[in-house]
A and B are shown apart, each in its own frame.
Chain A
Amino acid sequence: MHCVILGNGITGITAARTIRKNTDHEITVISGETDYFFSRTALMYVYMGHMKFEHIQPYENWFWEKNKINLKKAWVKTIDTNNKNLLLDNNESISYDKLLIATGAKSNKFGWPGQDLKGVQGLYSYQDLLELEENTHQGINRGVIVGGGLIGIEMAEMLHSRHYPVTFLVRESNYWNNVLPEQESKMISNHIREHGFDLKLGVTLKEIKGDANGKVKSVITNTHEEIPCNVVGLTAGVSPNIDLIKQTDIQTDRGVVINYHMHTNVEDIFAAGDCAQFQHALPDRKVVEQVWYTGKLQGECAALNMIGKKTLYDPGFWYNSAKFLDIEYQTYGTVMPKLREGEKEFYWQHADGKKCMHFVYKESDHLFIGINVFGIRLRHAVFNRWLKEKRTIEYVLENLKAANFEPEFFSTCEEEIIAQWNAETKNNIQLKNKKSLIKMIFN
């Protein structure tokens, strides 16, 4: 049997490896983007000079041949679903028995005037990285980033690392507060300013102006301000990359429509990752999930179904992570930007303005629902277990030390957090697992 995978990102590669782990099927991964799998989330580090491109490739080049995973560098021109055949841009044709569509996403462009000028770009693909290098390697006077999400702050940090001034246009009243609650959002906004970015909140893009050579020269905001710049980063989200799929009888909506077996409406064709859209959302989740971790989970699930191991997509509790300049972020369970009906919150922030924890729990029975944590590392496995065991907020707080994943010798904040909880709720819960010095030394 020949399993063909379109896309060598985390989803496609996780699928390929899952198939290889379970079967001896022939596997072909097709990508026009790069020869080898790389970590998309690490593109920024190449631009910033932390790593070379080869470092963000998680496997050495011999890995693929050794594991009998065929790699083909090409773009697919057409998919013939009747004859189970693909036509590549080099006119080669490839037949498949099972096909996985894992074509990822592309940056949103909302029809802004001037959005196709030279110097205006998103950041998603390897080609985007090359383009940014080309757009900036002569030096720039200013970059403008449009859209306050995860890619926006990455792009801002990238330009900043090369000492280019950055203006950051964010539609919301605080950075990323369509996802983060107001408290965290404010804290990160302050941190962005601490780094010297020109953060403009509540400001949107109206128009991008070009010079005689078709190069960007300034942007105009909804507040009628003209900001001269040489690069514009469009980072207002990404959308499924499905232009190819739209020409076929595979059902699409925002993304390639799939059921919980990752199956499309066409026999033997599956989809997963950034390009896929579930028919119905799972509780607390979205129909289109576009993060690294869901790509991994969906890729594994799709692969199992491709090889005949019927598996329902069951991603477990939500988790995610990011890093905003110097502040790490982790989240476990569900924390909405605004409390939902019947939810209560407990928010603690360290005096340094760089660490905080935001707990959400049910008002009625104090069931723990989720946590946002900034500047402190917490254990994924422990929080996953607590969510599974349906623990209360009190239990979580009392046992918080067990979830601490900070490096050795770091000062911990559990005592302070518990004290604040007790003060706010007029309770008297006690921290568990306090370690004596002797115990700490010999663990």
Chain B
Amino acid sequence: MVQVRLTGVSKKYGDVPAVEKLDLLVRDREFLTILGPSGGGKSTTLRLIAGLETPDEGDIHIDDLRINELPPRDRNMTMVFQNYALFPHMTAEANIAFPLVVKHTPKEEVEKRVKEVSSLLKISHLLKRKPKEMSGGEQQRVALGRAIVKKPNVFLMDEPLSNLDAALRTEMRMELKRLQKQLQTTLIYVTHDQTEALSMADRIAVIKDGKLLQIGSPEEIYNQPADAWIASFIGNPPMNLISCTLARNNDRTTLHAAEDCVLEIPKSLISKLTDLEIGAKLKLGVRPEDIEIGSKGATLFCEAEIYLLESTGDSTVIDFKMGDSIVKLKTKAGYKAKIGERAQLVFTGSKMLLFDAETGRAL
């Protein structure tokens, strides 16, 4: 059982807070991804767990052991870095063996483990090479080998795939996930790439400005973002956030998005709005794939002007100009339309989200 628990952890660099009052529970054998923008405190969180930084406040526990002051070498964690941080003067073999050698593991044991790990990672043919004689992907595998050889309690990875090219990155993603399931080891993975987080993680923790905004499964994060910022950070293209005001007319509750766009609120959302006053500022969140073009007599529609067309190969993204804001719509590839045309946008009501315009919290 390896559970990592952060309670009320804060860390400042000078006067700049990097992490503020962070509570985070990493479950046993879980693949947890810490997702957030650059400079948001993700890496600091990871370094705090690794022991490369000491928290100013709060506690870090592994299971029931408080490890605030435990030096990194005694934590039995390993870390994979973005630049791999292989020891340049050692061969791949020596790099992988290093964590065992410094613990005075018997020679036969070291050889056996290095052999196991290198066949697991398919790098047996690289063992005699030095880092500069290997490609980025190969170095990445050696770095992974060095991390898993000593059978740590926790793997820590700080953007390990960022330096790889796109094809290799996709391949390594799946391989990492498979490896983690095979080794049954807790893995904490830091990334700013939402695709990476969504495709690999068991759970995602979204951290911004040193604070934990939401933690949950990729589906939860994608479908029920707790916050307008998360909604706009995740998805490709991200969720549309349409500014609108609440209006009540007799017993109808409507949202005014732009001059010529009045949306009737679906029943599923009405209950969340009962406390709000008329004129309240809201943000309507709709994923680009939940908007359609056409008029099927739907109640939730707006008319808008086509502003831009982007083709991504497997789909077409159409930008509409609605009032002052741009609304993106994702449809199948090869959709024909002209810039400047007007079209009806139909919202698939069940997947609409509402956020408070001021606080950004989901309603």
Q: Do A and B bind each other?
A: no
Binding site for B on A (CB under 8 A): none
Binding site for A on B (CB under 8 A): none
